[in-house]
């Protein structure tokens, strides 16, 4: 046993491979206006008119049609600063977003710690150079690719349970963050401060108001993780294992591409979750009225799908305006 701990120490591997860094929160705080912009776009708030431009396919001579695009997120953010002032935009939802980010990081740390602790219990992984050469922050991914199928299923189930706990605990802060974002355009003073937002939600919707939109958010958080880990394992077991001549850069590019595609497809559930977070609120905005008009998240998803708005907020540039109507829901 002493030899085991000596080998672990020599590999510089421990349960602190994913530290919670304070500078991450500082950066996210400075980017809070962009987060507010993204939330408002997901809610369908478009104060700026779209402009006509050529289709990107025209660069490849495939099409010369005209499309309509909303201004990019930086122009949108500048408009918020000019309209509502620097300080209100900079601090809107600050505490709720900080708590949301902190709890998310804590659960991410716990999931990595869980995988690493299981790896340290299986001493044979200390002899696998391909796994041990992974960067510390990606050690868990390298391990999940190579463990037996039965262990993979058990680890995936436990990671899903951790993710469910994360969503349940962070959902109240997410709802508060979204409603504070909507309140800035509705000039609703009942959501100006965190404690005021808590009281307003409890008064309007009771305790269940803090969990508005939790079902699509659970699906959004779980489905990409499950699909990505399964696809990653399939690629490792069936493709990369037989094509060892491929460089690590190619492997990383394929993993990154698959992750991007999976998240792009799952993003529409995040939009639905954001809209439904307003469900039941009394904020005097058109976005809240639209959210209250839906009987449930399925109707919300169908309506947004029919109007081509399920991907709104995904791209910071080339934000296509659905046709023929310019006005979002």
Range of the domain at 79: 17-320
pLDDT at res. 68: 82
> Is residue 297 in some structural domain?
yes
> Is residue 3 in some structural domain?
no
pLDDT in tens, 262-319: 999 999 999 999 999 999 999 999 999 999 999 999 999 999 999 889 999 898 888 8
Listed as ranges, residues in the chain with pLDDT below 50 are 1-16, 123-126, 131-133, 136-137, 324-327
> Is residue 328 in some structural domain?
no
Q: What's the 3-state SS for the chain?
A: CHHHHHHHHHCCCCCCCCCCCHHHHHHHHHCHHHHHHHHHHHHCCCCCCCEEEECHHHHHCCCCCEEEEECCHHHHHHHHHHHHCHHHHHHCCHHHHHHHHHHHHHHHHHHHHHHHHHHHHCHHHHHCHHHHCCCHHHHHHHHHCCCCHHHHHHHHHHHHHHHHHHHHHHHHHHHHHHHHHHHHHHCCHHHCCHHHHHHHHHHHHCHHHHHCCHHHHHHHHHHHHHHHHHHHHHHHHHHHCCCCCCCHHHHHHHHHHHHHHHHHHHHHHHHHHHHHCCCCCCCCCHHHHHHHHCCCHHHHHHHHHHCCCCCCCCCCCCEECCCCCCCCC
> Is residue 4 in some structural domain?
no
> Is residue 298 in some structural domain?
yes
Among residues 203, 199, 219, the alpha carbon closest in space to that of 268 is found at: 219
pLDDT at res. 139: 52
> Is residue 200 in some structural domain?
yes
pLDDT at res. 53: 72
Sign of CA dihedral 189, 190, 195, 198: negative
pLDDT at res. 251: 67
pLDDT at res. 29: 76
pLDDT at res. 6: 43
pLDDT at res. 155: 79
Give the count of domains, the chain: 1
> Is residue 82 in some structural domain?
yes
> Is residue 6 in some structural domain?
no
Domain CATH for 252: 1.50.40.10
């Amino acid at each position: 046993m002493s030899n085991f701990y000596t080998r672990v120490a020599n590999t510089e591997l421990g349960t602190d491979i994913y530290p919670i860094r304070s500078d991450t929160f500082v950066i996210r705080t400075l980017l809070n206006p962009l987060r507010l912009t993204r939330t408002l776009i997901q809610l369908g708030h478009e104060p700026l008119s779209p402009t006509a431009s050529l289709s990107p396919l025209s660069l490849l001579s495939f099409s010369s049609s005209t499309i309509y695009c909303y201004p990019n997120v930086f122009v949108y953010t500048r408009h918020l600063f000019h309209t509502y002032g620097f300080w209100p935009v900079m601090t809107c939802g600050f505490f709720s977003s900080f708590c949301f980010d902190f709890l998310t990081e804590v659960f991410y740390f716990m999931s990595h710690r869980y995988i690493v602790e299981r790896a340290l219990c299986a001493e044979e992984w200390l002899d696998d150079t391909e796994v041990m050469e992974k960067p510390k922050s990606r050690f868990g991914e390298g391990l999940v690719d190579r463990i037996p199928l039965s262990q993979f299923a058990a680890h995936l189930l436990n990671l899903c349970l951790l993710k469910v706990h994360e969503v349940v605990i962070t959902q109240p802060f997410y709802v508060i963050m979204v409603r504070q974002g909507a309140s800035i355009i509705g000039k609703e003073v009942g959501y100006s401060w965190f404690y005021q937002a808590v009281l307003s939600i409890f008064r309007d919707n009771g305790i269940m108001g803090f969990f508005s939109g939790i079902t699509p958010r659970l699906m959004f958080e779980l489905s990409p993780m499950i699909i990505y880990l399964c696809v990653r394992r399939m690629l490792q077991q069936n493709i990369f294992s037989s094509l060892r001549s491929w460089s690590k850069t190619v492997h990383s590019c394929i993993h990154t591409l698959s992750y991007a595609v999976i998240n792009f497809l799952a993003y529409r559930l995040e939009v639905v979750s954001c809209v439904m977070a307003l469900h039941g609120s009394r904020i005097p905005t058109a976005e809240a009225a639209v959210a209250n008009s839906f009987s449930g998240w399925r109707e919300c998803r169908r309506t947004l799908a029919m109007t081509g708005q399920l991907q709104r907020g995904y791209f910071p540039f080339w934000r296509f305006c659905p046709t023929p109507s310019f006005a979002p829901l």
